[in-house]
Amino acid sequence: MTYTELLTTAQEIAKGKAEDYSHTSDRHSNFKFASDIASEFDSVSFPYVTLISIKLARLQVLLNSGKEPNNESITDTFIDLINYIALWGDRITEGK
């Protein structure tokens, strides 16, 4: 795939995900939501909470929109949440 084709593909994916996950015209709304929540946690938990918060923000939009997502399914989102929480729990409880 050429440089231009990669950029075009990336732009198409970003547009589709914005349509799926942004509940406002602000394409950064999910990241702002995640930042607000993650700021309450320590540096060890911060990356996990950030990813979980982004998934929760996306899930909220998907569940309230009533439309079929273009990219990740609602089930995929729940599975991602399970995995992120399990990884975070492992990190906290095992001290790794």
Model pLDDT for residues 2-45, shown as the tens digit of each residue: 999 989 998 988 888 777 766 667 878 888 888 899 999 999 99
Nearest alpha-carbon partner for 48 in 58, 37, 59: 37
- For the entire predicted model, the pTM comes to 0.73
- Angle, helices 46-65/3-21, rounded to nearest 10 degrees: 70
- Angle at CA 44, nearest 5°, toward 38 and 50? 30
CB 21 within 8 A of CB 56: no
Query: Domains in the chain: how many in total?
Result: 1
Query: Taken in order 88, 84, 64, 24, is the CA torsion positive or negative?
Result: positive
Q: Domain span at residue 67?
A: 3-94
What single letter denotes the amino acid at residue 23?
H
Whether the pLDDT of residue 50 is over 80: the answer is: yes
